[in-house]
Structure 1
Amino acid sequence: MAGRAEPPEGTPGGAPGAGDEEYQSTVFDESFVKAARLQEYSAQQRLEDHTTAVRTRAPEPAPVGARAVPKQGIVLALIILAAFAAAIYLGANNPYGAPPALRADRPAAVTVALLPEDAVPAADPEGLYAGTPAEGYGAGAGGVALPDPRATDHFTREQVLTALTLAKEFVVTGAMTPDVLTGATTVPVRELLGTEQQRQFDSALNAQEPRSGAVTDWLVRFDATEARLVDQQVRVDGGFTFTEIADDVLQVDGRHVFVYALRPAGAPDGDVSLYTVQRELRLQFGEKELRERTVVLRQADTLAGPMDCAADTSSALRPLFAGERAEPPATAGTDPHDLDGEGAVLCGTFAVSDPPGPPPGP
């Protein structure tokens, strides 16, 4: 009988000491086995040809705390980034572009002094405006009327109304507000101007550069050391017109007469006289001005009197008071060879037509 002898083929390869000795030092610990991706043949796969006879093992779950970015999130992020880049590109290459801003050059302006033919008359203290054309004028801001707004070819009715409202505000603040008239402030007028015209206004106000223009191109102002405003409610007459001068420019023209009751600043009980100013303003508006509620002053023409033609009106108007006359010579000399001069002094004669009286009898 055969005893406990080794099989004829020799010691099995799986038994200790069997097989190649070079693999005897290899040790498969527990961590190595767990990390291995095991695949095994299925019974069906073993029976089929030309088929990968393995079953893919599902991947191990991600460790706790680790997050994998899904493919859908990456795609969405790329789409958003592409849309953002396209928006920037189209905005920078818009063939139409933003509406062009109006040029804000210094306004064309002229002031004509009207000297009295005789001594300036005193007003009736019981009725300052009685017997004068100003008797029927409106008083204060309520006396400034607006026309009915209507749409134009390229501006809506609401935009036209906004332009007219801003024009009225500019007229009221610049010619009827007591603090502006007496030189106490210029802020209400300045705030209605755009950035460039604010710079020009400041330059004229502070005389920062030669030929910077007169403050009275922008507003009506008296020197508080010379004149005192008696009636805070300035009398006013006149109106506005508007027209579309371009596809993107709306123009408002205003022509008004203002009558001020004044007396000398150093004579609190002195006689009161009336001082008349006619101003014709040309204001323009684009979409930017309407949106920002600012105006562009294009032109300001002023007739003012009674006033001496030789008076310097660059910083303030210089009225003649009750009993005063224009000092000769009425105008200052003008040198036509002086290219840096202010030009000829414009002067006229103050001549008020007779106010309308009662209709003649039969």
Structure 2
Amino acid sequence: MGGRAEPPEGTPEGGAGGDDEFRSVVFDESFVRAARIQELSAQERLSAGSRPIRGRGLRGGGLSRQALALMLLIAIAFSAAVYLGTKHPYPQAGAGSAAELSMSVVPLQPGAGGVPTLAPVASGSAAATASAVATTSSTATAGATPSTDASASAGASTEVDPRTYALGPAGLALPNAGATDHFSKNQVAQALILAQNYAEVSSLDTGVLFGGKTDPVRDLLASGQRSQFDQSIKSPVDDGKHEATGWLVRFDSTEVGPTAGQETRVQGSFTVPVEVDGALQLTGDHTFVYALTPVSTDGTQQPTVLFTVRREVVYRFTAADLAANRVELTSSATEAGPMACDAASAARYFTPVLPATASGTASASASASASGKASAAATVSAAASPSGAVVDPYDKTRSAWAVCGVMGGPTP
């Protein structure tokens, strides 16, 4: 007979007990929860019909929690990538965010001295040409009318001899550059050079002045201002936004051309760039004196007209502008003369008043007397400017005017 520890029939074959074959399987709580199926309880089997089990891990045929979490992470990552792509913290080069340019173009009529001219001389006589400057009144107040206000008279008496101006690009000197809070010294220097390039191309390039070219100027502009520029060139209008001459200096080549041997004279300055609303801003204020020869239809020699343009331009540079080597113009004020007091015609070209036009005669001589020039000025002044004010384009102590005036100040 077996002992008490053994069953009556003895120990079964294959092991020490009937449960030994399942000892390697641990049915802990995590194992039970991970099971895909679950046996119903007795009460549930009575009401469940023929199906004694139910599935686990899937809810209504949906995805598992792990799958849902993975899809959620993917969606979040994709949304973040889209957001960062459209809201990049650094502006993209060439981004079209520039504001419109506000401009004014102010014609200046001939003063009491008449149309300033250079007498025609034999070629190669540079000294004679320099000494052949037609004389005008010694001060701007000589051309003043009773309606001229005191401030205009005071500001127009500046004694400046444009013959001392630098020749061409030499008159576009730059100040020293220094770093600002958010722009390095190199970036400030780059802003100055870009402003200098724009002033040179838009005011001294012969192709722009007389050849009708506009691409050299357009290529320097920020992309956000090119649409306004294109409209100004295609359909110029005197509205403070779309004058072609608010962007550049240009003459009608069928009327006048450059005088051989006479380079444009330039005087003015650029201000040191400062930070304004997260961008660099500077102002260029320059006076240009052009020597123009009227186009002759009968082959007669024409006197050289000295035409003066003062340009006061405010430039703005964002980090994106500097990265793209582009400029933004926020405002420009231009005074030009001698011209008729007709801002509408000045929107497309600067059209100088010529000696013959001013005097009302069929021809004009460069040796006309001072009294003849005074008569010419009186004829032009018959269509007097609205203000009657004398405006000196050589006086940098005042801002550019916004009304047509009488040209005053020393004449080269």
TM surpasses 0.5:
yes
Q: Which residue of 1 aligns with 2:394?
A: none
Number of residue pairs the alignment of both structures matches: 280
Q: Which residue of 2 aligns with 1:320?
A: 353
3-state SS in 2 of match to 1:329: helix
Q: Which residue of 1 aligns with 2:407?
A: 349
Distance 2:98 2:233 in 1: 21
Maintained 8 Å contact 1:283/1:297: yes
Residues 14-67 of structure 1, C-alpha deviations (whole Å, 9 max, x = no match): xxxxxxxxxxxxxxxxxxxxxxxxxxxxxxxx789846899xxxxxxxxxxxxx
Residues 136-171 of structure 1, C-alpha deviations (whole Å, 9 max, x = no match): 222222331111110011211111111101100110
Percent identical among aligned pairs is 30
Higher alpha-carbon deviation: 99-108 or 306-315: 99-108
What is the root-mean-square deviation in Å for CA atoms of aligned residues?
3.8
> Which of residues 96, 99, 106 in structure 2 aligns to 1:111?
106
Instruction: Name structure 1 gaps, 5 residues minimum.
Output: 1-45, 55-77, 335-343, 356-362
3-state SS in 2 of match to 1:242: coil
Change (3 A) 1:90 1:300: closer
Q: Which residue of 1 aligns with 2:282?
A: 252
> Which of residues 296, 301, 309 in structure 2 aligns to 1:266?
296
Distance 1:159 1:204 in 2: 30
Residues 95-144 of structure 1, C-alpha deviations (whole Å, 9 max, x = no match): 96758975411323232414231332432543445579233222222331
Distance 1:164 1:97 in 2: 22
Instruction: Name structure 2 gaps, 5 residues minimum.
Output: 1-13, 25-70, 134-159, 359-375, 388-401
In the alignment, does 2:203 pair up with 1:175? Answer: yes
Q: 1:256 deviation in Å?
A: 0.7
> Which of residues 257, 260, 269 in structure 2 aligns to 1:228?
257
3-state SS in 2 of match to 1:116: coil
Provide runs of 4+ in structure 1 moved above 3 Å.
Answer: 46-54, 80-87, 92-103, 124-132, 208-212, 321-326, 331-334
Give 1:5-16 correspondences, 5 Å limit: none
Maintained 8 Å contact 1:331/1:345: no
In the alignment, does 2:269 pair up with 1:239? Answer: yes
Distance 1:210 1:113 in 2: 16
In the alignment, does 2:311 pair up with 1:279? Answer: yes
Which is richer in helix?
2
TM-score (norm 1): 0.65
Higher alpha-carbon deviation: 309-318 or 181-190: 309-318
3-state SS in 2 of match to 1:205: helix
Maintained 8 Å contact 1:309/1:345: no
Q: Which residue of 2 aligns with 1:42?
A: none
Give 1:1-362 correspondences, 5 Å limit: 50=20, 85=78, 88=81, 91=84, 98=91, 103-123=98-118, 125=121, 126-127=125-126, 128-130=129-131, 133-207=161-235, 211=239, 213-231=242-260, 233-266=263-296, 269-310=301-342, 312-322=345-355, 324=358, 325-326=376-377, 327-331=380-384, 346-352=404-410
Distance 1:192 1:199 in 2: 13
3-state SS in 1 of match to 2:221: coil
Change (3 A) 1:83 1:185: same
Change (3 A) 1:348 1:165: same
TM-score (norm 2): 0.58
The structure having more radius of gyration, on CA atoms, is 1
